[in-house]
Chains A and B, each alone.
Chain A
Amino acid sequence: MWYKKQAELLREELETLLKLLVDTAGLYELTRKALTGAGRGIFADKPDSLPWPLLPLMVCETVSGRFEPALPAAASIQLLKTAAEVFDDVEDADSPESLSSRYGPALAVNAATTLLILSEKVLAGLKARGVEDSIIVRIMESISSYYTTACAGQHLDISHTGDLAVTEELYMKIISLKSATTAECACYTGALLGQAGPDSLDKFARFGHNLGMMSQIVNDIQGVTGGKDIIRRKITLPVIYALSQTRGETYRRLERAFSQETETAIQPGQIKDLLFQCGAVHYSVLRMELYKQRAAGILAEMEAGFDTGQLKQFLE
């Protein structure tokens, strides 16, 4: 497949960077563990998963015909994203598989801090890839701006953890800031490194944003259909819809299931059934489809100037 070579090069970029830590007992292993797993850029993803870490490379190649200039930026974004996820696991304290649960929050926070610093260091490699200084500065500025926005989203998310009264408007704002910006950042960065013009930069950014919104809602749907978010009492789009649309005993059961203050044992299968039966999953699928169509529409707008075939796989 197209991206095996690109995935290998991204892995090499990250492995080269991590070698700086080899002499630091334990830190090398921890940061490498953090980067392990589907979508995190170090080990091979499952054959049927989408090559999300390669998104900046794919956009860069779509614009300019070359992906190599985007390698350091793709590595930087993977490092930042992974750091954010490690911090998120420390904040949520609800995942037994997380670095924090396995090694303690102190070591996890230090590993995430290391990843943050490496995410900046790796951008120095842009110059060796022939990227002009002015573009490097723009890349650094845009990545840091996007992830500052993601932190704002995370702040809102944490502030409303367990809030049964959270509205759909607020929730969509949270995932726009926290989640969609990271996909937008990947696309915008790739386009900038491909030397896209202002109009195209805007289109790729909007494509990335809609792609990110779509992906987060899909994640929400899977969270209830698989049961994971029900067990964790996580309030996501399907739950927000259900709480707004149900009444009587159905509402009370949902309220008990997702309240942080109750110790009532949850029956995930029954709650999942309720969410299906009240239309919450169907509504979430429709919302996902809306963002998917918007993303597809933006790609269609660009077809006259770019071959967007590779990017369409994220929508198929």
Chain B
Amino acid sequence: MKSQALQELVSRIFKDEDSRAQFISDPDSVMSQFSLTEQERAAVLTTHSRLGVVNSGSPQLAAAIGPMASWF
């Protein structure tokens, strides 16, 4: 199922450098502008703490997803 609020949040984060910087410095403030569920908020915060803004490949991203894809 698509999450409209999550899509809108990501679209905002990646709109420009200022938006990205605002999210990095205060993710709760930015998230409060969107109708996210509690689970979505938790997913955003967990990803933020582990990977920051995923705008390029990184060892952290590779480590986060590496072993999990081998079922398919």
Chain A residues within CB distance 8 Å of chain B: 38-39, 45, 48-50, 52, 167-169, 172, 179, 182-183, 212, 214-216, 218-219, 221-222, 225, 241, 244-245, 272-273, 276-279, 281-283, 285-290, 293-294, 314
Q: Is the CB of B13 within 8 A of A279?
A: yes
Chain B residues within CB distance 8 Å of chain A: 1-3, 6-7, 10-11, 13-14, 39-40, 42-44, 46-47, 51, 53-57, 61-62, 64-72
Q: Is the CB of B71 within 8 A of A277?
A: no
Q: Is the CB of B13 within 8 A of A286?
A: no
Identify whether the interface residues of B are mostly helix, strand, loop, or mixed: helix
Please measure, in the bound complex, the distance between the C-alpha atom of A218 and the C-alpha atom of B62, giving whole angstroms. 10
Please measure, in the bound complex, the distance between the C-alpha atom of A273 and the C-alpha atom of B55, giving whole angstroms. 8
Q: Is the CB of A285 within 8 A of B47?
A: yes
Please measure, in the bound complex, the distance between the C-alpha atom of A52 and the C-alpha atom of B64, giving whole angstroms. 17
Which of A38, A45, A293 gathers most chain B CB within 10 Å? A293
Please measure, in the bound complex, the distance between the C-alpha atom of A44 and the C-alpha atom of B60, giving whole angstroms. 26
Please measure, in the bound complex, the distance between the C-alpha atom of A221 and the C-alpha atom of B47, giving whole angstroms. 14
Instruction: Give chain B nearest CB distance to A182 CB in angstroms.
Output: 8
CB-CB nearest in chain A for B13: A279
Q: Is the CB of B10 within 8 A of A286?
A: yes
Instruction: Give chain A nearest CB distance to B20 CB in angstroms.
Output: 10
**With A169-B2, A278-B14 in contact, do A214 and B68 touch (Cβ < 8 Å)?**
yes
Q: Is the CB of A290 within 8 A of B39?
A: yes
CB-CB nearest in chain A for B64: A285
Instruction: Give chain A nearest CB distance to B72 CB in angstroms.
Output: 5
Q: Is the CB of B61 within 8 A of A52?
A: no
Instruction: Give chain B nearest CB distance to A257 CB in angstroms.
Output: 18
**With A245-B7, A289-B46 in contact, do A276 and B54 touch (Cβ < 8 Å)?**
yes
Instruction: Give chain B nearest CB distance to A213 CB in angstroms.
Output: 11
Chain A residues in 8 Å Cβ range of B72: 179, 215-216, 219
CB-CB nearest in chain B for A282: B54
Q: Is the CB of B56 within 8 A of A50?
A: no
Chain B residues in 8 Å Cβ range of A283: 6-7, 10
Please measure, in the bound complex, the distance between the C-alpha atom of A22 and the C-alpha atom of B14, giving whole angstroms. 57
Please measure, in the bound complex, the distance between the C-alpha atom of A219 and the C-alpha atom of B69, giving whole angstroms. 5
Chain A residues in 8 Å Cβ range of B71: 39, 50, 52, 182-183, 212, 215
